[in-house]
Structure 1
Amino acid sequence: MHRDDVTDWLDGVGPAGLDRPEVGALLVAMPSLGDPGFERTVVLIVGDFDDGYQGVILSEPTRDDVRTALPRWWRSALPPRKLHRGGPCDPELVLCLAVGRKGLDVPGLVEVKAYRHQSLYRVEGDVDPDVILPSVAGVRLFRGYAGWDPGQLEYEIALGAWLVVPSVADDAVSAVSATLWRTVLSRQVGGAAFLRACPDNPARN
């Protein structure tokens, strides 16, 4: 595939995507991104602030077992029960996402996205896992996060570096998170769906 062909595909993904980034949406890395740290990643936007956006990479499980790294969270960690690489910012920080029924009023849980039958929550602050774990169906833990300054993410999207699409309830806690890039693209329409078969460097094909 030539670079011009990739550009044509990207021009055709509009109907599948959202107009702008929003909390709870997915950022799907496009071949034109050019950053090896985000190659073929899926990022969930978990917060928007005056100083930009925060997200976590959903698609990169590490070899670090939750039982070893954070044993108190082990019993509610969802398969594959590995810490995930959340992004390049503050890699010593561990972020936690939880899934549970909608409308939970539990200290330390902040709703990120409400779906039809459940909600996705951020776990914030110095939280005792024994307090929240009885209320949620499971958690996923991330080392580090992805961050964008004001206007930066919008600029990257305008350049075609990211496809912004709605998330579904299972994306953040997928048991096969390593395959999420292809999975998310496969449920899009138009050119975006074909990108799942794109080689690592489409300009060389």
Structure 2
Amino acid sequence: MTEQKDVRAGRLLVATPELRDPNFVDTVVLLIEVNDDGALGVVLNRPSPVPVAEVLHPWATSVAVPDVLFQGGPVSKDAAIAVALLVDSDDPPLGFRPVVGRLGLLDLDTPVELVDGTLSRLRIFAGYAGWGAAQLQGEVDEGSWYVVDSEPYDSFLDDVSSMWSAVLRRQPGELAFHATRPPDPELN
């Protein structure tokens, strides 16, 4: 098991009940880049009502169900970020940048025909979540985020409505109990 405050690419941020920012309440964020300048991730459990076919038609048949754009975060909402899972990590297509294992980012300027058969899953996010240098670690230290390991298919669940509690339930020890915690335990 990895240290709970070890913030690095490929791990998940799970919003704690103390996190009240409406952009992140009950969210699960996949960290896709972490370095000395800051961190970048995408919110995995906020589907939009906009079908991928309306915005990025060539990718419409390649995305995982539900085939909509996901709201990746409050920054640059007009930018698209594609998270992909390779069929075979030894055969990445042109335009693929690994994050961890078979999971990575796909350049959407890559012709669709060049990636056919190489991707197991694909999801497209409008916008992203970003943190400046040391900002995310400060939020983790103050108790706004649980930092947990991801599993390859976390980024591509068909039904994301229960993702927050599902990710917490599979954690070891006391952290799993938070999955059933009421929003305000004092009212219980």
What TM-score, normalized to structure 2? 0.92
Shift of 1:105: 3.5
Task: Note the aligned Cα RMSD (angstroms).
Answer: 1.7
Distance 1:180 1:105 in 2: 28
CA drift of 1:144 comes to: 0.2
Go from structure 1 to structure 2 and tell me whether the alpha carbon gap of 1:171 and 1:104 turns closer, same or farther (over 3 Å shift).
Answer: same
Q: Which of the numbers 148, 161, 175 marks the counterpart of 1:165? A: 148
Q: Tell me, yes or no, if structure 1 residue 145 matches structure 2 residue 128.
A: yes
The alignment status of 1:52 with 2:38, answered yes or no, reads: yes
Q: Distance in 2 between matches of 1:201 and 1:133?
A: 47
Identity of aligned residues (%): 33
1:131 corresponds in structure 2 to 114
SS of the aligned residue for 2:105 comes to strand
- What secondary structure sits across from 1:45 in the alignment? strand
* C-alpha separation in 2, matches of 1:162 and 1:17: 13
Aligned equivalents of 1:188 and 1:48: distance in 2? Answer: 22
Aligned to 2:4: 18
Deviation of residue 125 (structure 1)?
6.4
Q: 1:125 to 1:80 in 2, by over 3 A?
A: closer
Shift of 1:19: 3.1
Aligned to 1:184, which of 167, 179, 183?
167
Q: Which of the two has greater helix per residue?
A: 1
What residue in structure 2 maps to residue 97 of structure 1? 83
Q: What is the distance in 2 between the residues matched to 1:160 and 1:87?
A: 20
Please tell me whether residue 196 in structure 1 is matched to residue 179 in structure 2. Answer: yes
Q: Which runs of 5+ in 2 are unaligned?
A: none
Shift >4 Å, 4+ stretches: none
Q: Which has the higher contact order (CA 8 A, sep 6+)?
A: 1
Specify the alignment match of 2:66 in structure 1.
80
Checking the alignment, whether the CA contact within 8 Å between 1:16 and 1:188 is kept in structure 2 is no
Q: How far apart in 1 are the matches of 2:91 and 2:4?
A: 28
Deviations 1:108-157 (A, max 9, x none): 1011111xxxx112013632222223321221000100001010011110
With the length of structure 1 as denominator, give the TM-score of the two structures.
Answer: 0.85
The code of the aligned residue for 2:165 comes to: R
CA contact 2:82–2:108 (8 Å) conserved in 1: no
Residues of 2 paired with 1:178 and 1:43: CA distance?
Answer: 14
Contact 1:33 1:161 in 2 (8 A): yes
| Number of equivalences | 187
